Amino acid sequence: MTGSTAGRAEVCTGLSPEGWKADATQWPSPYVGAVLGAAVSFGSVSSVGSGPMLGDPISAPVDGSGGTKSATRLSLGSTSGTGTSSASSSSAEFDKPTRYHCPTTGFGGKVFGTRSMLEVLDVSQAGLEGVGRYMVAALLNARSGRTPVLDETAVRTMWNDLVNNGYYEPTAGIKWTGAEIIAYLQSTMG
């Protein structure tokens, strides 16, 4: 983590877990929440918007220039398209939502199984499960530059230390539990 610089306070404007869930079509790359207007169903967790259904062709912004590329939204249960694919038929960014535990997020453990980052935003349990939703928001905030005091590496370290050690040590000898991590992350959210 980096702190404020001399004479200049760093301002955090991070979104809460609820804010990132509501804005799931605008997540910073390489993280994928949801596709514009797509209906996404996750068993008991469901989020439905108006527009095309999973499997329908979509046209959504995929580059920083404001341009659009056509892509085909794949079924969440499908394993096709996980290899290399042509940008004309499928964009890798829109193949499926980013899983919580995967190389892209760097979040270790198996707490959430195969759930996506978007699904974890719906978790309302205590313990590690409750911390997970704040870690999703913190990772997205760091990636989008909303938390200059907290980068993606620090977010990953918080989670992985908590999972592996039962605590996170922001400074030698200081041990934060899940509740203390949540309190800190909330302080970075506007």
d(CA 68, CA 169): 43
Angle at the Cα of 118 from the Cα atoms of 114 and 119, rounded to 5 degrees: 55
* Model confidence band, residue 35 (pLDDT cutoffs 50, 70, 90): low
Q: What percent of the chain has pLDDT over 90?
A: 54
More confident residue, 61 or 164: 164
Q: Which of 47-51, 154-158, 167-171 has the lowest mean pLDDT?
A: 47-51
**pLDDT mean across residues, the chain:** 73
* Model confidence band, residue 36 (pLDDT cutoffs 50, 70, 90): low
Give pairs for 144-149: CB < 8 Å, separation 24+.
Answer: 144/28, 146/12, 146/13, 146/14, 146/15, 146/188, 147/12, 147/13, 147/14, 147/188, 148/2, 148/10, 148/11, 148/12, 149/1, 149/2, 149/3, 149/4, 149/10, 149/12, 149/188
d(CA 27, CA 44): 23
d(CA 92, CA 115): 18
> How far is the first Cα of the chain from the last one, in angstroms, to the nearest whole number?
18
Instruction: Give the model's pLDDT for residue 95.
Output: 60
d(CA 44, CA 82): 25
More confident residue, 12 or 64: 12
- pLDDT per residue over 47-81, tens digit each? 333 333 333 333 333 333 333 322 222 222 323 33
Instruction: Give the model's pLDDT for residue 125.
Output: 82
CA 19 to each of CA 13, 78, 84, 163: distance values in angstroms, whole numbers, following the listed order: 11, 28, 32, 25
β-pair partners for 174: 171
For the chain, domain boundaries = 14-28+97-190, 35-96
- To the nearest 10 degrees (0 to 180), the angle between helices 152-165 and 128-143 is 160
| pTM for the structure as a whole | 0.67
